[in-house]
Structure 1
Amino acid sequence: MSERLPAQLEASALVRQAEAGGGYGTIVKRGDPDRGALVLVITCRGEHHAFLERALGPDGSYRWQQVGPAAGAETKALADWSQKRVRFDEDLWLIELDIPDPQRFIAETTSKG
């Protein structure tokens, strides 16, 4: 099984990564500092592009995968999905990353662990 960084540390690193790339990141909802699941809200200038969640795969490694409403979904659908997800898992971290090249970020993130 692969080792995981504490969720709080990884959330902070993701925000810094977005800022270093010319965007910004904010932690919308803080979860368990050690073991909380991470869900990324990927936007570009406020326009929704994807939700990404890190999940444990059958081989024991963690991989990012797209979840939730698709790119361009209406604001209500995004809010409803986010609220339901947070209610389902109170340890979850919800992190918004507004980045200049979301498609590249999504492709690079989902292709690696």
Structure 2
Amino acid sequence: MSERLPSGVEVSALIRRVQGEGGFASILHKGDTDRGTISLLIAERGEMRALLERRMAADFSYRWTEVPSSVVEEGSDWREWVKKASQIDPDCWILELDIADAQRFIAETTAAG
């Protein structure tokens, strides 16, 4: 089984990475600092592009996976989505990352695991 960084450390690293590339990062819901799941709402110039979640793969390693979401596909209200997600899992982290080249960021993040 692979070790993983505590969620709070990984969240901080993601925020620094986005800010280092000239983007904007915001914590929409703060979760458990050690074991909270992490979801990323990826935007480009305010328009939602993707929702990524860190999930455990079959080999017990954690990978970033792009998941379907009405927030991205239909442009539904992200505030309502955040409210529902945090009620289901109060320990989760939800970040909004607005970055200039969202597709590149998504590709790099999902490829890196």
Q: Is 2:31 the counterpart of 1:31?
A: yes
Secondary structure of the structure 2 residue equivalent to 1:75: coil
Which residue of structure 2 aligns with residue 42 of structure 1?
Answer: 42
**Deviation above 4 Å: which 4+ runs of structure 1?**
none
Cα offset for 1:45?
A: 1.3
Which residue of structure 1 aligns with residue 22 of structure 2?
Answer: 22
Which residue of structure 2 aligns with residue 90 of structure 1?
Answer: 90
- The RMSD of aligned alpha carbons is 1.4
Q: 2-side partners of 1:17 and 1:64: how far apart?
A: 15
Q: Answer yes or no: is the 8 Å Cα contact 1:47–1:72 preserved in 2.
A: no
Gaps of 5+ in 1: none
Cα offset for 1:82?
A: 2.7
Aligned identity (percent) is: 47
Q: Answer yes or no: is the 8 Å Cα contact 1:27–1:94 preserved in 2.
A: yes
Which residue of structure 2 aligns with residue 61 of structure 1?
Answer: 61
Which residue of structure 1 aligns with residue 80 of structure 2?
Answer: 80
Gaps of 5+ in 2: none
Report the TM-score, using the length of structure 1 for normalisation. Answer: 0.91
Q: 1-side partners of 2:85 and 2:66: how far apart?
A: 14
Report the TM-score, using the length of structure 2 for normalisation. Answer: 0.91
CA deviation vs aligned residue, 1:11-40 (integer Å, no higher than 9, x gap): 111011000001011111100010000000
Counterpart of 1:73 in structure 2: which amino acid? E
Count, aligned residues = 112
